Amino acid sequence: MTNEFTELLDASQSLIGQIEDTKEAIESELGHLMHAAAEIDSAITELSSEADYLHREIAAIRAVSPHDHDPVALATVEAINNLLALLSEAKNYLEAGQPLAALGTLQLFDNHAEDLRSAIRLTLMAQRRQK
């Protein structure tokens, strides 16, 4: 019976040793997992910060020139700029006593006015779609 008791004691000590080894291995792996989770959290925080920065930059660019991001508004601004330049040119020709040059410029003005009318129609269509 002492021999069986000794074997049982040895087996239980061996089992306790295996349990302790397993516990240490699990604690070590949990430490690695916690470290990896902390690195992931840090990377997510950094990525979120970069995304916020990018969003602010995009918003700032759009706020500075919102028409640059709307092709219809951009075309309208371009048409208006062309008309203003042509009117100024025609005025200069008239003041310089060159009525034929002014007439030619005003003919160009009429062509560019069609562009503005088209841009107005596109703006109206875009407004209707938004409703």
Please report the pLDDT score of residue 67 as a whole number: 62
Contact yes or no for 80/116 (Cβ under 8 A): yes
Q: Which of 19-28, 66-75, 108-117 comes out lowest in average pLDDT?
A: 66-75
Window from 75-79, 82-86, 89-93 with minimum mean pLDDT = 75-79
Instruction: Identify the CA nearest to 74 among candidates 65, 63, 85.
Output: 65
| Residue-level pLDDT at 93 | 93
| Buried b or exposed e, range 120-129, using 16+ CB within 10 angstroms | eeeeeeeeee
Q: Which of 77, 107, 76 is nearest to 90 (CA)?
A: 107
Band (pLDDT 50/70/90 cuts) for residue 89 is very high
Between 66 and 27, the more confident residue is 27
Q: Return the percentage of the chain with pLDDT > 70, whole number.
A: 94
Mean pLDDT computed over every residue of the chain: 87
pLDDT of amino acid 1:
66
58-73: per-residue pLDDT in tens? Answer: 888 767 766 666 788 8
CB 86 within 8 A of CB 112: yes
Q: What would the pLDDT profile of 31-53 be if each residue is shown by its tens digit?
A: 898 998 899 989 899 999 999 99
What are the angstrom distances between the C-alpha of 125 and each of 69, 75, 93, 116, 131? Answer: 17, 14, 37, 14, 10
